[in-house]
Amino acid sequence: MAAASTNRLRILCSSSRAKVSQSGSLFYIGSRGYATTDPSPSATGAAAAAAATAAPTARRRTTFKDQLNAGPSFSDFVSGGNDDAPLDPSEAYALKTAMVGPAGRKKEMTRLPSWLKTPIPDSKNYQRLKKDLRGLNLHTVCEEARCPNISDCWGGDDKSAATATIMLMGDTCTRGCRFCSVKTSRTPAPLDPHEPENTAEAISRWGLGYVVLTSVDRDDLADGGARHFAETVIKIKQKAPSMLVECLTGDYAGDLDMVALVAKSGLDVYAHNVETVEALTPHVRDRRATFQQSIRVLDAAKKAQPSLITKTSLMLGLGETDEQLWDALRQLRAVNVDVVTFGQYMRPTKRHMAVHEYVTPDQFELWRQRALEMGFLYCASGPLVRSSYKAGEAFIENVLKKRRAGNPGAVGEKPVSVDEATR
């Protein structure tokens, strides 16, 4: 009787496609329980025979392989120096789509166009900047937001031309925009009181001519972190008076006094991104951010310090229309914004908004020309352009130096204290 029960148990284990242990140890078989095995050769042979006759369990087919084949490959993110000539944009777009999925439910997936390829960041300057940042516990939006231009901005042999966008107040934001890969939390870590000094020390050590400061949103702080931001600018100007400083700020929950505080801290360029057209703002940005609030921020910065260059950026490829873009540009010019940039929205993870379309380089060039015709001082426009893209900074740097030559007391020459800035 005991032998018959043992045989039935062996057959049950075999039909569950469990492997028989040669050591007689206890092992788990699915979610039903545990069984012991008899290590004798005869027992092993019986189990093997039962397994051979057991009916195979049907497995549900997946489309994972199809998705891998149709999705971005490693070469879609990296380009070397020996690539073939780029395809025509329309041809590249057509070749990089494929239908994937089970029969009856296939959908089209679009791979990255060739014009969005960037080189792997690997240079002495890149490694040096990264080492200094880690040593001083500093963060950059270049890394946190996975910027595709990091090799270009960090990797130049000429360190005076290198640009790193330092992200102040930690790496965790209190807002959750649907396009951004920066970490979010209602209760991020407290501010590092040494960060303004560490940032100024690192930047002065690098010998850069132009630096961009940005920050996460800190709605948990009464001033949104504006005083911390302003203090950092002041310390940088104390250590490197000739350095040009651009600040890419949040909206400080609409507190225009905090906007004025930062604008008067000695910076040279005040940037605040509207991100997208007004109609899409509720679907793209955190609910606490509005297009009109961003317009008021840019207006307040210019009024607080008229000599400042004001700057903003929009992502394309989110489903915006031409008329919506025209309207956004008209509103920006109405508050005397000087510089605008256009770049391609690129989905950082599957948790974020999908790309509506990949805008071609020709379309980006068209919008650059339109912006200049509307009176913007400068417009950087292209698939890989981001709000702190160094090509734009080179132009802005020249403009600022010319202004300084004509007016020694111009932007950024005489930073005031945080207390003075609030008067």
Which residue positions form the known binding site?
142, 147, 153, 173, 177, 180, 388
CA within 13 Å, CB half, 250 = 28
CA angle 217, 267, 422 (to 5 degrees): 70
Annotated binding residues for [4Fe-4S] cluster, written as ranges, equal 142, 147, 153, 173, 177, 180, 388
- Nearest by Cα to 224 from 189, 259, 248: 259
| Residue 398: φ, ψ to 5° | -65, -40
Closest CA to 181 of 212, 214, 141, 210: 141
Nearest to 251 by CA among 204, 288, 284, 222: 288
Cβ within 8 Å of residue 206, ≥6 positions away: 129, 132, 159, 162, 164
